[in-house]
């Protein structure tokens, strides 16, 4: 069954698949590749949403 998730704007989406995703993130003057696991996929979301809370749980540091 689809899994529902909520974006920061409180809009709900249904995920139709779960998998891994590699993203590139800025890291000072460099770029670091991160493998995100158990990523939710929804065909109606036209962009990549990354949970800062989930990254924090995994031990990553996020600076804006």
Give whole-number Cα distances, 44 to 11, 33, 40, 41, in Å: 12, 25, 12, 9
pLDDT per position as a tens digit, 5-48: 999 899 999 999 999 999 999 999 999 999 999 999 999 998 89
Q: Is 62 helix (H, G, I), strand (E, B) or coil?
A: coil
Give the pLDDT of residue 21: 94
What is the phi/psi pair of residue 28, to 5°? 65, -125
pLDDT at 2 over 90: no
Distance CA 12, CA 3 (A): 10
Phi-psi region of 46 (alpha: psi -120 to 50; beta: other; left: phi over 0): alpha
């Amino acid at each position: 069954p689809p899994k529902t998730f909520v974006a920061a704007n409180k809009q709900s989406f249904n995920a139709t698949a779960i998998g891994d995703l590699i993203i590139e993130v800025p890291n000072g003057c460099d770029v670091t590749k991160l493998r995100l696991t158990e990523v939710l996929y929804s065909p109606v979301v036209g962009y990549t949403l990354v949970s800062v809370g989930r990254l924090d749980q995994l031990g990553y540091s996020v600076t804006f």
